[in-house]
Amino acid sequence: MKKRLNISFLKKEAHDFALKESKHHEQSLFGVTDGKAIGTYLEHKFQNSLKNKYVYKWGSSAKGIDFPELGVDIKVTSIRQPQSSCPYKSAKQKIYGLGYSLLVFVYDKMDDEKTRTGNLNVIHTIYVESSRTGDFQTTTALRRIIDNSGNIDDIIAILSEHHLPVDDIQAKELADEILQNPPEIGYLTISNALQWRLQYSRVIEKAGEITGIIRVV
């Protein structure tokens, strides 16, 4: 009888999977340098390991996040450049977070010339709660202004300084919301683009030290 997947089971399985995968040598990965191909390999392998044990709705990058019922998306990235992209929905994601949590696998890939296999040493597995997926510099600047009794003009100035993709009307509406509902400090670095570019160095550094950023491995 399969169990229904929940967050606790997901983190436990991610822990076990990361340790097991770090010892695995895969012929199909030998010589592969394409981060997207490596990410697809690792995501599919993790999902397949879960399907055998749990009942859950399987999402996809084409349809949205990987675990829509749990509000979690998988990200796979190399330690040499720990970043990935995600769909842009609104400028508010930079302030209030992406709207879902992240399960981040950070690997260091090595090839073995003798066996002609590739190994993904998963050196960090980190669970980032949705409330911590905002942009660090933007959220810290906003909290500083709010803590110093800043007003709507101060908030709008910060939004402008941080080049949020909003027009004047949207900026005023967003500033009103921020004053009424100050954001949590986020720990991603989110760069503006057609898709958000997420960078994870600070998440890796702070995992296990900050509430909402959980070191799984």
Higher-confidence residue of 163 and 13: namely 13
Cα 183 to Cα 132: distance, rounded to the nearest angstrom: 9
Mark whether 29 and 108 lie in a shared domain.
yes
Are the C-beta atoms of 160 and 170 separated by less than 8 Å? Answer: no
pLDDT at 116: 97
For residue 92, give the amino acid letter. Answer: K
Mark whether 113 and 174 lie in a shared domain.
no
Cα 67 to Cα 50: distance, rounded to the nearest angstrom: 11
b/e per residue, 187-199, with b = 16+ CB within 10 A? Answer: bbbbeeeeebbbb
* Residue 126 covered by a domain: yes
Q: How confident is the model at residue 26 (pLDDT cuts 50, 70, 90)?
A: very high
Mean pLDDT within 121-141: 97
pLDDT at 37: 96
* Residue 45 covered by a domain: yes
Mark whether 42 and 117 lie in a shared domain.
yes
Mean pLDDT within 27-43: 96
Mark whether 127 and 144 lie in a shared domain.
no
Q: How confident is the model at residue 1 (pLDDT cuts 50, 70, 90)?
A: confident
pLDDT at 113: 96
Cα 29 to Cα 92: distance, rounded to the nearest angstrom: 38
Which residues have CB under 8 Å from 107's CB, separation 6+?
38, 42, 76, 77, 78, 79, 120, 121, 122, 123
Q: How confident is the model at residue 139 (pLDDT cuts 50, 70, 90)?
A: very high
Cα 14 to Cα 77: distance, rounded to the nearest angstrom: 15
Q: What total of structural domains would you count in the chain?
A: 2
Residue 62 has pLDDT above 60, yes or no: no
Q: How confident is the model at residue 199 (pLDDT cuts 50, 70, 90)?
A: very high
Q: How confident is the model at residue 187 (pLDDT cuts 50, 70, 90)?
A: very high
Mark whether 120 and 197 lie in a shared domain.
yes
- Closest C-alpha among 47, 112, 114, 56 to residue 76: 47
3-state secondary structure string, 70-101? Answer: CCEEEEEEECCCCEEEEECCCCCHHHHCCCCE
Q: Which domain holds residue 207?
A: 3-83+99-133+190-215
DSSP at 164: -
Left (φ > 0), alpha (ψ -120 to 50) or beta: where does 64 sit? left
Mean pLDDT within 135-142: 97
Residue 89 has pLDDT above 70, yes or no: yes
* Residue 172 covered by a domain: yes
Share of the chain above pLDDT 70, in %: 98
SS3 134: coil
Lowest mean pLDDT, pick from 57-66, 128-137, 185-194? 57-66
Q: What is the mean pLDDT of the chain?
A: 95
SS3 171: helix
* Residue 185 covered by a domain: no
Are the C-beta atoms of 126 and 207 separated by less than 8 Å? Answer: yes
Mean pLDDT within 183-206: 93
* Residue 88 covered by a domain: no
Beta bridge partners of 120: 109
pLDDT at 195: 84
Q: At 115, which helix (H) or strand (E)?
A: none
Query: Quick one: tokens of 16?
Result: 């076990």
